[in-house]
Amino acid sequence: MSVNEFFDWKISLDDELYAVIDEKARKMVVMGNFIELTAVLWLDQNDVLQLKPMWDCVISIDDATKQITIRSAESLNMKEEC
CA angle 25, 30, 34 (to 5 degrees): 125
Least confident of 19-28, 58-67, 71-80: 71-80
Dump pLDDT digits (tens) for 11-48. Answer: 999 888 889 999 999 999 998 877 778 889 999 999 99
Exposed / middle / buried, residue 57 (Cβ in 10 Å: 0-12, 13-18, 19+): buried
DSSP letter, residue 14 = -
pLDDT of residue 80: 55
pTM: 0.72
